[in-house]
Structure 1
Amino acid sequence: MLPKLDPTNPKACLSLLEDVTTNAMQVQDSVLEAILSRNAQTEYLKGLLNGQLDKQSFKKNVPVVTYEDYRPYIDRIANGEPYDLICDRPFMVLLASSGTSSGVPKLIPLTAEEFEQRLLFSYLYAPLPYKHIEGLREGKTLMFYFAARETETASSLMVRTMVTCVLRTVNQSHWDRMQISPLAISTCEDNTQGMYCHLLCGLLQREDVARLAAPFASSVLRVIKYLENHWNELCSNIKTGQLSDWITDAQCVSVISKLLTAPNPELASLIEQECKKTSWEGIVKRLWPNAKCIDTIVTGSMAQYVPALEFYAGGVPLLSMFYGSSECYIGFNANPLSKPCDVSYTVNPSMAYFEFLEVEKDHQEAGNDPTKKPAVVDLVDVKIGNDYELVVTTFCGLYRYRLGDVLRVTGFYNKSPQFRFVGRQKVILSIDADKTYEEDLLKAVANGKLLLEPHNLMLVDFTSRPDYSSVPGHYVLYWELGRKVKDAKLEPDPDVMEECCFAVEESLDSVYRRFRKNDKSVGPLEIKVVRPGAFDELMNFFVDRGSSVSQYKTPRSVTNEEALKILDAAVVSNFFSQKIPSWELKELHSTI
C-alpha cells in the first residue's frame, strides 16, 4: 500500500515512485503479507490456506482463477451475503467493467481504502508530463469523461464504473483549477448533451486549452466525429450567444449560461473557417492552438486508431500515461513523450501482488507438451522479451486472478519491469484448428488498411466474427470507412477492397494460411463495409446493456446475436479475397 503523502507536492510524488520501483521485491513481499494477514479469515482463503500465510503456501494452495471462478462469490455478495466471503472490510461499490470483452460487464469489488489508493497512484505519476512538456501548466484540460448510469444490487450495493466513482467524489475546487468544462457537464445523465456542452466549453475557451483528454484513442476520435457533425450548430450558438433548445439538462444549461454570456461572431467565424475546409487534417491544433498534448490510451487494441488520431492532431503529441483495469491499477508511463508504438508501462509494485503466467510468444503452441502447465513467476523474475498474462492478488478480495491481458516485457525501470500491452489472451477467430488472437488480427488489419490511404479513405473502426454458415467457414470483418477529405468518394473501389482482404490474409499466421491454401478448410476472408455511424449504434447497444461511454472499447470480435444484427443491417457492400495467401512447409518448421 502507498504511504500517506501530500499529492500536491510533485517532488514527494516522484520520489515515492522512485522508492517503490527501486525496492520492488521488498514492496511486493510486504503487499502479499499484508493482503494475506488481513484476509486470512475470509471464507475463500480460510478454506485454502488453513492458517498458513507464507508465500510458498499461498502459491501452492491458492489456484490461479478467472472471473467465472469468482462469479459465485460476487453473486452472493450482490445478493446480500457478508463481504467477508472474500475480504476483511466492506465494499464501497461493485465496479462495472467495460463489458465489451465478454458482452456483459463484470462486477469487481472495491473498498473505500482501495479507492483512495487508486486516486493517490494517479497523483503520483501526474507530475511526469509537466517535466517533459513546456507550457503545460499554463492552461487547463479539456477532458471528455462521462458518468455512466448507476444501478444497485438486490442488497442495495451500488454498481458504478470507475470513471463514475471518480466524478462523483472529485474535489470541486481542484476540478475547477484544472478543467475547462465544469464538473456538472461530466456528471450529466445525458451523454449526448454532455458531449455537446464539453465541446462548446472547449471552443469558447479555446486559447486556454493546454491538454485534451479522454479514456481511449477511440474516445477522442468519437469526439472529433461528433464535432464534424455538429460544428455548424456550435458556431451558431457562439455567434448568437444562445444555447440550442434541445440542451435541457438543468445543470448543463446553468453552467453554460455563465460562459455563453453574449454573441461572439468573430470566434464563430474563426471556428467556421477551420471546420469548413476541405480536409480536417490537423483540426485539433487549428481549433486549440495552445494544446500541448492529447492524453489518452493508445496501446493494445487502441493502437489501430493512432494513424487517424495523428492525422487530426496536427503534430500535438499523444500521451499514454496509464495502464489499469477495473480489477486493479497497475502501471504508468515513465517516458510520456515516447511514440505510441514505443510506449511501455512501469508496474507500480505497491498496488497489488503481481504474478506473471508465461505465454508462448506469438501464441505458437507447436511442439509443446500439452500436459505441461505454464510457469507463474514473480514480478522481479520476468524476462525481457517474454510474454506473460498478468495475474493479480488485491486487497479487495481477488486472489491469483487472471486479468486476461498479455504483456511483453521491454525492460526495467529501477527494479520494476516495464512492459508493452500486447492484447487479450483470447482466441477471437477460429474456423478449423486455426487460432487468431487479438494481437494477430490487429496487425493484419493494420496492414490491410494501408491500401485505403492513397484513396483518401481511412478505417474508422472494425470488428470481426467467424462465419460458419458457409462451407468452408471464413472470417468476416466489418469495416466502417471515413474520408480524409470532404470530396473523397466513400464508396470504395472493389479492386482496392479485394486487395485489402488479401493483405489481411497474407498478414495472418502460417497455420491460417496453410488451412486456406493447402487444406482448404478455411474460406476466403470477407470484408463487409458498413454505413457511417454503425459503430456508434454498436456502442449504444453495449451501453444500454450496462457498459459505459467513458470505458467503452469496440470488441474486436462480436458473438452476441443482437449486436450482429445491428452490424449486418448496416452493411452497404461486401468483398472477398480473390487470391490464395502464400504458405510454404518451411514456415511451419520455423514455428516448432
Structure 2
Amino acid sequence: MDRKKLEYKGKEVLEEIEWLTARADLVQEDILQQILARNEKTEYLSKYMHGSLDVSEFKRRVPVITYKGVHPYIKRIANGEDSSLITGHPITEMLCSSGTSSGEPKMMPSIEEDLDRRTFVYNLIMPIMNQYIAGLDKGKAMYLYFVKAEMSTPCGLLARTVLTSYYKSRHFKGRALDPYNDFTSPDPTILCEDSRQSMYCQLLAGLVHRRKVLRLGAVFASAFLRAVSFLESNWARLCDDICMGRLDPAITDPGCQSSMSAVLVLPDPALAGEIREICGGPSWKGILCRLWPRAKYIEAVVTGSMAQYIPALEYYGGGKLPLVCTMYASSECYFGVNLKPLCNPADVSFTLLPSMCYFEFIPLGESGALVLDADEEEEVPVSRLVDLVDVRVGCYYEIVVTTFAGLYRYRIGDVLQVMGFHNRAPQFRFICRRNVVLSVDNDKTNEEDLHKSVTYAKKRLEPYGALLMEYTSYVDTSTVPGHYVLYWEIHNHPSVAVKNPVLEIGSEVLQDCCIAVEEQLDYVYRRCRSYDRSVGPLEIRVVKRGTFESLMDLFISQGGSINQYKTPRCIKSGSALSLLSANVKASFFSPRDPTWTP
C-alpha cells in the first residue's frame, strides 16, 4: 500500500469519526431502532415489548440488568438452545471476561458482525496517532500479545477471550497488508497458548529487530511490565540464542520453533554483545530506550487500576517514552478511542463512538460527590437513565449498553466521569469498577479512593530508593473489629544497593504508610476508625518479590488471560488469599487513629 493510499485511508477514517460524533444523537437512535428490528422476535425482548418497535416503549418497559439477569439465557444457549432467546443473529461464540474484577469469568454472547465493529475501532488508532507522530510506517511495533486456550460450551460453541477471538480472526491476519501494523512478533508466537514460550519468543524477536522498533506495548500495563520482569530474568538466555543463531531447546512449541527460524537466520554475536552490555549494566532505569533506541512511545492501558503501574513504566522508560492509552473496550462491547493519545495519563479521556451499541447512563452524582455505596444488584428505575448526548460535564455515571448480540440495558459496572464533548459525543474518564469495594461497617471504599490513598502513601518509600510495584487488598474479619489489609510488593530501584527494603526502610516508615493511607480515605471510614471504633487499624503486609507474578499465574491457570489480566484490587478468591498470605515477609499496622472532626 503506497503512501498516498495510506494518507487517503487515514483521512477517510478521521472524517468518519467527525461524521459519527457530529450526529451522535441520530446515530444512537438509528442503532437502537436497528437492534429492536433485528431482535424483536427474541424471547427476551418479546417478554417486554410484545412485538413493538417503539423506542419510547423500549425505554419504558425493558429493565436495567446485571449479569445475573441475562445469565439464565446465556446458559440455555450454551447448553444448546437457539440464539433467538436473546438475538436475531446466530451466536458464533461466547466471550469470556477476565474474571479478576467480579471474582469469576462471565460469558458474553457474540455474533459475526461484532468482529467488524471491534476491527473498526482498531483501524482508528493509527490514523489518530499519525496526527501526532510521523513516520510510524517506517519501522516495526514490538507489541506483546497473548492468547488463552479455547474452551467449548456443552453445545459446542467456542468460549474464549475477546482478544483471543480477535487474534485468531481474519481481521488480525489481514493487518499484514498495512505497513503501520508490521509487528516484530511472528503470528505463531502470539498464538502460542504457552504464555512463557510465547513471551520468550516475542521478546527474542523484539531484540533481534531492536533497531527497527518504533513502538512498544501490550494491552494492559501489567502485561507489559510482566514482560520487562521476564526479560530481566532471561536476557542472558536470549543473548545466547542471538549469538548462536538458534532457538533455546526449552522452546518446544512447533509454531514458535518454525516461525523463529526465520527470525534467527544467522548467528549475530555483535548484536548479542550490545544487548549483554545494556542488560548487564548497573541500572535498569531507562532500559527500554537503550534496548530500543528508536522507540517513540509505550502503548498500554494505564487508566483505572492500571494507573498503579505508571511510575514503573516511567522508570524503565527513563521518563522519555510517552505512555499512550488508545482505546476503551470490554468483553461486552468496544466503546471508544482517545483522540489525544499523547496527553498525560491522568488526563486520558475516551470519546464514545455512537455506532458501537446503544449507550445509556445511570447518574451517580455531581462532580466531587461521587456516590458508590449502592449494591451492584440494586434495581435501577428506568426513568433514571440518561442518553449519550444528555450527560453533563463533570458528572459521574455508570455505563449501560444495549447490543446487537443480545445484551439489553446491561450494566457494564464501569464508573465514568464526563470530561467534555467532541462534537455531540461525550468524552469520559474511566474512574473505577463499581463493584470493587472494601467495607467493614458503614465504610464504603471504592477502587479510585483506594488507589488515590495508596498513591499518596507510597511516596514515603521514595527517599529509600524503593518502589511500590503492586498492591491489592481485602477485609480481614477474623479480628474484632475487622480491618483493611493491604498487600504490598516493594522493589528497590536497581541503581540503589539495598539488600532488604523492609529492614532498610524500617518499621516506622511502613507504619507511616499505613496511617497515610487512612488519612486519605473518606470521612465515613475515618469516623468508623476514630469515633465509632467499628473498624480496626489498617494493616500493610509486605510480600516477597514475585508474589504478584505468582498471583497472575494463579488467575491465568484458573481461566484468566494474560492479555486481559488486571490485578484485583480487592481479593475475593480463597486460593489467591492463601497465596498472598504464604508470601508475607512482614506486617505493619497504623500506629494511631486517623484525624476525624464531627
Normalising by structure 2, report the TM-score: 0.94
Q: CA deviation at 1:411?
A: 0.2
Q: CA deviation at 1:427?
A: 4.8
Which aligned pairs between 1:290-305 and structure 2 lie closer than 5 A?
290-305=294-309
CA shift digits 1:85-111 (9 cap, x unpaired): 000010111001111112211100110
User: Of 459, 462, 472, which residue of structure 2 is paired with 1:463?
Assistant: 472
Which aligned pairs between 1:416-427 and structure 2 lie closer than 5 A?
416-427=425-436
- Give the aligned partner of residue 223 of structure 1: 227
SS in 2 for 1:445: helix
User: Of 326, 334, 352, which residue of structure 1 is paired with 2:331?
Assistant: 326
1:149 aligns with 2:142: no
SS in 2 for 1:207: coil
* Matches of 1:404 and 1:420, distance apart in 2: 14
Q: CA deviation at 1:372?
A: 9.5
Q: CA deviation at 1:560?
A: 1.3
* Matches of 1:173 and 1:331, distance apart in 2: 22
* Matches of 2:278 and 2:199, distance apart in 1: 20
Moved more, 121-130 or 398-407: 121-130
1:546 aligns with 2:559: yes
- Give the aligned partner of residue 246 of structure 2: 242
Distance 1:8 1:474, change over 3 A: farther
CA shift digits 1:10-57 (9 cap, x unpaired): 111111111000000000000000001111110000010112222211
- Give the aligned partner of residue 165 of structure 1: 165
* Matches of 1:439 and 1:455, distance apart in 2: 26
8 Å CA contact 1:7, 1:120 repeated in 2: no
CA shift digits 1:286-329 (9 cap, x unpaired): 10000011111111111111111111112111110000100011
Moved more, 491-500 or 399-408: 491-500
8 Å CA contact 1:385, 1:408 repeated in 2: yes
8 Å CA contact 1:175, 1:183 repeated in 2: no
8 Å CA contact 2:436, 2:569 repeated in 1: no
- Give the aligned partner of residue 589 of structure 2: 576
User: Of 333, 342, 353, which residue of structure 2 is paired with 1:337?
Assistant: 342
Q: CA deviation at 1:173?
A: 5.7
* Matches of 1:371 and 1:259, distance apart in 2: 56
Q: CA deviation at 1:277?
A: 2.0
SS in 1 for 2:155: coil
- Give the aligned partner of residue 500 of structure 2: 490
> Aligned letter for 2:389?
V
> Aligned letter for 1:210?
L
Which aligned pairs between 1:266-285 and structure 2 lie closer than 5 A?
266-285=270-289
* Matches of 2:281 and 2:379, distance apart in 1: 62
Q: CA deviation at 1:117?
A: 1.8
* Matches of 2:411 and 2:279, distance apart in 1: 46
User: Of 518, 522, 526, which residue of structure 1 is paired with 2:535?
Assistant: 522
8 Å CA contact 1:499, 1:577 repeated in 2: yes
- Give the aligned partner of residue 216 of structure 2: 212
Distance 1:288 1:372, change over 3 A: closer
Distance 1:76 1:214, change over 3 A: same
Structure 2: which 5+ residue stretches go unaligned? Answer: none
* Matches of 1:224 and 1:371, distance apart in 2: 44
8 Å CA contact 2:364, 2:371 repeated in 1: no
- Give the aligned partner of residue 589 of structure 1: none
Q: CA deviation at 1:8?
A: 8.2
CA shift digits 1:345-402 (9 cap, x unpaired): 0000000000010113544489xxx999582100000000000000000011000000
* Matches of 1:354 and 1:173, distance apart in 2: 30
CA shift digits 1:430-469 (9 cap, x unpaired): 1111000111111111111111111111111111000001
8 Å CA contact 1:96, 1:105 repeated in 2: yes
8 Å CA contact 1:7, 1:13 repeated in 2: no
8 Å CA contact 1:14, 1:125 repeated in 2: no
User: Of 182, 199, 216, which residue of structure 2 is paired with 1:195?
Assistant: 199
8 Å CA contact 1:43, 1:84 repeated in 2: yes
> Aligned letter for 1:479?
W
* Matches of 1:515 and 1:231, distance apart in 2: 50
- Give the aligned partner of residue 183 of structure 2: 179
- Give the aligned partner of residue 388 of structure 2: 379
* Matches of 2:173 and 2:40, distance apart in 1: 39
* Matches of 1:135 and 1:437, distance apart in 2: 42
8 Å CA contact 2:457, 2:514 repeated in 1: yes
* Matches of 1:262 and 1:330, distance apart in 2: 45
Moved more, 415-424 or 270-279: 270-279
> Aligned letter for 1:573?
A
- Give the aligned partner of residue 398 of structure 1: 407
> Aligned letter for 1:438?
E
* Matches of 1:283 and 1:144, distance apart in 2: 17
* Matches of 2:8 and 2:360, distance apart in 1: 32
Distance 1:414 1:490, change over 3 A: farther
Distance 1:365 1:213, change over 3 A: closer
- Give the aligned partner of residue 450 of structure 1: 459
> Aligned letter for 2:293?
P
8 Å CA contact 2:490, 2:501 repeated in 1: no
> Aligned letter for 2:356?
M
1:37 aligns with 2:50: no
> Aligned letter for 2:165?
C
How many pairs were matched up? 579
Structure 1: which 5+ residue stretches go unaligned? Answer: 586-592
Moved more, 277-286 or 18-27: 277-286
CA shift digits 1:55-95 (9 cap, x unpaired): 21111100000001111011000000000000001011100
* Matches of 2:44 and 2:288, distance apart in 1: 51
* Matches of 2:125 and 2:273, distance apart in 1: 39
Q: CA deviation at 1:256?
A: 1.4
Distance 1:184 1:372, change over 3 A: closer
- Give the aligned partner of residue 436 of structure 1: 445
> Aligned letter for 1:342?
D
8 Å CA contact 2:364, 2:372 repeated in 1: no
- Give the aligned partner of residue 47 of structure 2: 47
- Give the aligned partner of residue 481 of structure 1: 490
Q: CA deviation at 1:231?
A: 1.0
1:59 aligns with 2:59: yes
> Aligned letter for 1:448?
A
* Matches of 1:431 and 1:70, distance apart in 2: 30
> Aligned letter for 1:309?
L
1:311 aligns with 2:324: no
User: Of 522, 525, 531, which residue of structure 1 is paired with 2:544?
Assistant: 531
Runs of 4+ in 1 over 6 A off after TM superposition: 5-8
> Aligned letter for 1:488?
V
Q: CA deviation at 1:569?
A: 0.6
8 Å CA contact 2:466, 2:501 repeated in 1: no
User: Of 346, 349, 354, which residue of structure 1 is paired with 2:354?
Assistant: 349
Distance 1:301 1:365, change over 3 A: closer
User: Of 251, 254, 261, which residue of structure 1 is paired with 2:258?
Assistant: 254
* Matches of 1:394 and 1:473, distance apart in 2: 42
- Give the aligned partner of residue 419 of structure 2: 410
* Matches of 1:106 and 1:8, distance apart in 2: 40
* Matches of 1:524 and 1:363, distance apart in 2: 25
SS in 1 for 2:117: helix
* Matches of 1:273 and 1:207, distance apart in 2: 16
